[in-house]
């Protein structure tokens, strides 16, 4: 996501002709978009995206279970 944001900022600066970015070649300005596409392709192909989503789900599930145990007056795993 950072590469996409960087690409948008560079694109706006190049289009507006502001600063030193105006003199840069177009391939330099558009390079963050290409890198973002390569990153997303690698993340999807390697399973990185799915693994991170599963980790978030597991953390949410553990937090929900701890909240329910606290509400019932049982000791959560964090306090042991």
What pLDDT is attached to residue 15?
A: 93
Q: Model's pTM, two decimal places?
A: 0.64
What pLDDT is attached to residue 80?
A: 53
How many other C-beta atoms are found inside a 10 Å radius of the C-beta of residue 29? 19
Widest distance between CA atoms in the chain = 65
What pLDDT is attached to residue 79?
A: 56
Is residue 78 helix, strand or coil? helix
When pLDDT is cut at 50, 70 and 90, the band that residue 48 belongs to is confident
What pLDDT is attached to residue 18?
A: 87
CA 35 – CA 29 distance, rounded (Å): 11
Rounded to a whole number, what is the distance in angstroms from the first to the last CA of the chain?
39
């Amino acid at each position: 996501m950072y590469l996409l944001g960087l690409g948008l900022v560079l694109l706006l600066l190049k289009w507006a002709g502001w600063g030193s970015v105006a003199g840069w070649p177009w391939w330099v300005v558009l390079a963050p978009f290409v890198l973002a596409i390569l990153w997303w392709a690698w993340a999807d192909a390697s399973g990185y995206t799915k693994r991170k989503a599963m980790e978030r789900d597991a953390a949410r599930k553990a937090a929900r279970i701890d909240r329910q145990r606290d509400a019932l007056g049982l000791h959560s795993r964090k306090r042991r």
